Amino acid sequence: MSHAHMGGVWDFSLLLPLVFLFQLYGQSLCQNGTRPNIVMVMSDAFDGRLTFDPGSKVVRLPYVNYLRELGTTFLNAYTNSPICCPSRAAMWSGQFVHLTQSWNNYKCLDANATTWMDLLEANGYLTKMMGKLDYTSGSHSVSNRVEAWTRDVQFLLRQEGRPVTQLAGNMSTVRVMRKDWENTDKATQWIQQRAASSHQPFALYLGLNLPHPYKTESLGPTAGGSTFLTSPYWLGKVSSELITVPKWLPMAAMHPVDFYSTFTKNCSGVFTEEEVKSIRAFYYAMCAEADAMLGQVISALRETGQLNNTVVIFTADHGELAMEHRQFYKMSMFEGSSHVPLLIMGPGLMSGLQVNQLVSLVDLYPTVLDIAGISAVGILSGHSLLPLLSKARSFSKKRHPDWVLSEYHGCNVNASTYMLRSGRWKYIAYADGLSVPPQLFDVTLDKEELHNVVIKFPDVRAHLDKLLRSIVDYPKVSNAVHLYNKEAFGAWRHSLERNYSQVIANLRWHVDWQKDALANERAIDKWLNGSL
């Protein structure tokens, strides 16, 4: 969506003042006439609420706190899609998921899409991308794809391993997630080489896998990532006495989509209080390890004398429920899954600032370009955050809308989902807006999101649904996703020819599938032929 969306037309009288302010921002961010370096560290599945109080007290995150003290913390930053690839597609393109049609972890950005990194490179920046990228496709398993495609089929299948914890090493074991550490080392070396050899500004992106749970190897290649793995060293950074046990609704009282997610994530069984606390403790410890990687990057910038001329951004693709709402993983619009960290520090930017403005990952594209003094091209869904950050305060802060949009169309959820945050309200609509009841939460009074008040506040529901439909024609998008799922599954099935029955029976759901394989195949056939 463009800046012109809300009003429908451009106000050309604003252009000259905007050009002046654009130049003012650029001046405030430049040191000695040079453009600042830009470094973004994006973790995977990092709960944004851990970057400010009271969440920040449960685990020691010294480098996140460093960014808090010397930069700006966004208290209400959200993903545009609570799953890896579609979220990153939105961040890299600056466009909402329904515009890029990044429907699931398999189908994301077109390989030729222009990212903000492409524009930085085209405008004189030396660029480098390392680690987890996952925005054209996530190379996820066939199982993951099939689950996304067949989510409308009318039966329940367990699709994940049950969440478990696993301890590695001892009190001296610092490097648990070795691949991430290798990439962090490479990023550090790259920063050191740039300091020694180049005078042009640089842009570095480091994508971490932590604190995403690990693959559960014992359950085979299609079990998914349900193991929370850390070492005693990192567990020592967690204040166990502050770990809360989330309240759960009774299964019978759950929203039908949340019930489906709980079942397919293998969380419908019995969990003891100690199990839940352990999962949460291990998750927080994994966040502490990710924080140390952020710290190594910051230290490299400081030690090479480049920190004072570098904008550092820390964020994540989505959060982690860590047993809130009887779920782990993401794929949900609840705060644990959809609320992401966003901290920005750099020359000419405010220190120790906490911003309440609702923002989302699509805002990073215009923000990065604004920092670099580059004009954005094409239609963008996001808005530059620089007016909220810059020490030059003589400009309007009203350009950013007072809402954020997130949407989800992938596996572990059986209906396209749309979340609109506006003010104190979180409105969640599903599918065509009629077949699945919506949800409404007052996140100010109901921080745990246990009380759906959609019936109690019909006027709020009507207002927010109208606003949502003005942003995205969500029934139309849901239908497009439904058709895509059928076509994609049909093409995949056709490609297997006679091996189809064998392959589909051996996907992640094989235990439940084999109870009545023929009936399940018939159900898929009905769905594929439009009978469901």
Is 333 within 8 Å of 452 (Cβ atoms)?
no
Residues 345 and 71: their CA atoms lie apart, in Å, by: 4
Residues 485 and 242: their CA atoms lie apart, in Å, by: 43
Copy the structure tokens of residue 357: 């403005």
Give the number of other Cβ atoms within 10 Å of residue 442's Cβ.
Answer: 17
Active site residue 84: yes
From the candidates 30, 84, 267, 411, give the one annotated as an active-site residue: 84
Strand ranges (E), 247-347: 310-316, 342-345
Is 117 within 8 Å of 127 (Cβ atoms)?
yes
Give the number of other Cβ atoms within 10 Å of residue 217's Cβ.
Answer: 11
Copy the structure tokens of residue 413: 């959820």
295-304 in b/e form (b: 16+ CB < 10 A) is bbbbebbeeb
DSSP secondary structure letter of residue 26? H
Written as one letter, the residue type at 31 is: Q
To the nearest 10°, report the CA torsion of 393, 366, 85, 228. -20
Q: What is the C-alpha end-to-end distance of the chain, expressed in Å? A: 33
Q: How long, in residues, is the chain?
A: 532
Nearest to 347 by CA among 43, 65, 34: 34
18-57 in b/e form (b: 16+ CB < 10 A) is eeebbeebbeebbeeeebbbbbbbbbbbbbbbbbbeebbe
User: What residue has token string 């680690």?
Assistant: 131
* Alpha-carbon separation of residue 49 from 207, 318, 449, 530 (angstroms): 20, 11, 14, 42
Is 318 within 8 Å of 87 (Cβ atoms)?
yes
φ and ψ of 441, to 5 deg: -125, 140
Strand ranges (E), 87-157: 126-131
To the nearest 10°, report the CA torsion of 183, 188, 191, 197. -100
Nearest to 265 by CA among 123, 410, 383: 410
Strand ranges (E), 386-518: 403-408, 417-422, 425-430, 439-442
* Alpha-carbon separation of residue 294 from 67, 71, 305, 343 (angstroms): 10, 15, 17, 12
Residues 364 and 93: their CA atoms lie apart, in Å, by: 9
Residues 152 and 379: their CA atoms lie apart, in Å, by: 32
φ and ψ of 209, to 5 deg: -90, -30
Which residues does the annotation mark as catalytic? Answer: 84
